[in-house]
Structure 1
Amino acid sequence: MKILITGGAGYIGATIASALQDEGHTPVILDDLSKGRREFLHGRAFYQGDIADHGLVDRVFAEHPDIDATVHCAAKIVVPESVAAPLHYYRENVGKTIELLEALQRNGCPRVLFSSSASIYAPAPDARVTEASPVDASSPYARTKQMMEQVLQDWTRGDGAEQRVIALRYFNPVGADPQMRSGLQDLNPTHALGKLIEAYESGRPFTITGTDWDTRDGSGIRDYIHVWDLAAAHVAALVRFDEAIAPGSEDRYRVFNIGTGSGTTVRELVTAFQEVVGPIEVREAGPRPGDVIGCYTTGDSARTVLGWQPHHSLADGISDAMTWRKAWMDQLGTAS
């Protein structure tokens, strides 16, 4: 297969591209490099620009008319930033995606794999969710994902529509490509593991933000999935796309949770980090703007329908993240 990946020079998009290549498929990358890195492209077909640029998308399809599907990863993803600049997030994540969909429809590319988020789920009393759980996003970032899922679902129901969409609701990616071809490129991470690594490197304390949640230890709970397992889920969804949503189906929209099925609190993440890396001082503070208790998946639809299951542990994710961080910082030091 030949697959268009928007945001394919970023952490997750580039890892998906590597997983596809390893299975004999051909990725085509569209990225504006606002966050993505040229170093992640590995000689792949690459188009630099905006997903809302119809002329550019038309050129991609003119030069690659055999594209089988689009993986749409391009998005802004920082929750506190979305609270501070909501219009920017709605423009980038919703408005520009609509422009992309119009271009995909015009170019006859009816299969879309959408990078959604578990952050759209309504808080659950025990933090467990399935694909059937209620959604009620609590931050502008999460609302852009929830809104786009509704847009995509409506898109598949339009008059004469041939579009079929699979939405993968990511939980909490950690780690790096085990072959170290890509990893988290943000020097100022906002997620818990990135903050742990940052604190460890600097010798400063790590701050647990929010300690009064209704969890077993008061800290938030997440489902930490290795980014390589997440990438493998995309390959599985693309390979089994027509099994998940058969051509001509009445319902042409389907959702899959992509997580490990196990919840880990932030305190437990700190303990796991210390077991892999070493001791670190810990402090506590109130939640950040947009923070929620979190959730973890208990559904097995991805395993049943897509034949996918995770293979990497949280310790693997921490170890790979540390290995990547050192290699990435060494590379940046050499470049400077």
Structure 2
Amino acid sequence: MTILVTGGAGYIGSHMTLELRDAGEKLVVLDDLSTGFRSAVPADVPMIVGDFGDDELVRDILVYNQIDSIIHFAAKIVVPESVADPLGYYLNNTAKARSLLANAVQTGVKRFIFSSTAAVYGDPQSNPVTEDAVLAPVSPYGRSKLMVEWMLEDASRAHGLDYVVLRYFNVAGADPLGRSGQSTPNATHLIKVAAQAALGLRPKLQVFGTDYATPDGTCVRDYIQVNDLARAHLDALRHLRSGGASLVCNCGYGHGFSVLEVIEMVKRVSGVDFPVELAGRRPGDPAAIVAANERIRAAFGWTPRYDDLEAIVRQALDWERRLVEQPPV
């Protein structure tokens, strides 16, 4: 049984690659290295540089490696960018995912685990938000992911493809062993950006919106540590292998922190009072979104190990320092 990990050289995908390798799984990584790095993939894990929308390449990989499961991470993920370039997001996240699904069905892949997003909920009416809440994405990014969820549901019904959709909340932190982390220089993740500001790698940190209907006026998010998220995928794979039903699950801790609370934590852990600039809202940002996670806990027995904002921030800072000393390639 071999697993194809698309986007396996990226931030979350590289942690998944490590999780699978540590578990003794046989895997192959496909990544176009547009935002990922070859050095993020262990030398003993086969990696192919290419586009997951390349039908001929993907079919060859699936057949030659006898792939029976796909864990699909490869995607564009920046909400404001999706507002400016919706067609680019629908091409990469939706149209190419349709091609990947078609190739999976045609070559007899049995299981598909999809990296979705809390952005499919839009601006929820209440928190924590459950998987059965109204789906009303407010950005092309969220819509592009929701379309893939629909395709998976239909493909499963028509072709017997078993799947798990994991709706991520805000992913943060780095591998506690220092093997991987968020390496993209221009990433927009709050904790990474704040860590860069604390280390002098950015002149300041901007806060987008201070007039939201939240306790301090800034957006509230549920921050999940990246290794906990990777382990949720392995739990999902084991669930499907054991005959479990196809499922949609939130991936979050069930509580949130505001932007200002996160900034204060980064300042405290780093010991640096870096400049913060207050700015207007960004398009596509909901005021608050926090995961209800009872389903994933019950279905997979998933239990977080790193539900600690201070520890997550410390991991992010340590990884940024490592990147300064040894830039990724």
Partner of 1:94: 94
- CA RMSD in angstroms comes to 1.7
Partner of 2:38: 38
Q: 2:299 aligned with 1:323, yes or no?
A: no
Partner Cα distance (1:152, 1:68) in 2: 16
Call closer, same or farther: CA 1:45–1:201 in 2, change over 3 Å. Answer: same
Shift of 1:173: 0.6
Partner of 2:130: 130
Partner letter of residue 211 of structure 1? T
Shift of 1:266: 0.9
Q: For the Cα contact (< 8 Å) 1:208–1:266, is it kept in 2? A: yes
Report Cα offsets for 1:130-163 as digits up to 9, x if no partner. Answer: 11111111111111011111111111122xx111
Partner of 2:188: 190
Partner Cα distance (1:80, 1:329) in 2: 27
Partner Cα distance (1:295, 1:310) in 2: 19
Q: For the Cα contact (< 8 Å) 1:119–1:294, is it kept in 2? A: no
TM normalised by structure 2 equals: 0.94
Partner Cα distance (1:10, 1:124) in 2: 29
Aligned 1:1-336 pairs, distance under 5 A: 1-43=1-43, 44-65=45-66, 67-158=67-158, 161-202=159-200, 204-243=203-242, 245-246=244-245, 253-278=246-271, 279-312=273-306, 313-332=308-327
Shift of 1:91: 0.5
Shift of 1:281: 3.1
Call closer, same or farther: CA 1:152–1:271 in 2, change over 3 Å. Answer: same
Q: For the Cα contact (< 8 Å) 1:89–1:140, is it kept in 2? A: yes
Partner Cα distance (1:239, 1:131) in 2: 21
Partner of 1:249: none
Report Cα offsets for 1:167-195 as digits up to 9, x if no partner. Answer: 00000110111122221111112121122
Partner Cα distance (1:164, 1:236) in 2: 14
Shift of 1:329: 2.0
Q: For the Cα contact (< 8 Å) 2:196–2:320, is it kept in 1? A: no
Q: For the Cα contact (< 8 Å) 2:170–2:223, is it kept in 1? A: yes
Partner Cα distance (1:82, 1:183) in 2: 24
Partner Cα distance (1:27, 1:177) in 2: 19
Number of aligned residues: 325
Partner Cα distance (1:131, 1:310) in 2: 19
Instruction: Structure 2 unaligned segments of length 5 or more: list them.
Output: none
Greater Cα shift, 299-308 or 204-213: 204-213
Secondary structure at 1:109 match in 2: coil
Instruction: Structure 1 unaligned segments of length 5 or more: list them.
Output: 247-252
Q: For the Cα contact (< 8 Å) 1:127–1:293, is it kept in 2? A: no
Partner Cα distance (1:244, 1:122) in 2: 32
Partner letter of residue 221 of structure 1? V
Q: For the Cα contact (< 8 Å) 1:173–1:225, is it kept in 2? A: yes
Secondary structure at 1:68 match in 2: strand
Greater Cα shift, 20-29 or 108-117: 20-29
Partner Cα distance (1:208, 1:243) in 2: 45
Shift of 1:2: 2.6
TM normalised by structure 1 equals: 0.92
Report Cα offsets for 1:273-294 as digits up to 9, x if no partner. Answer: 1221122333321111222213
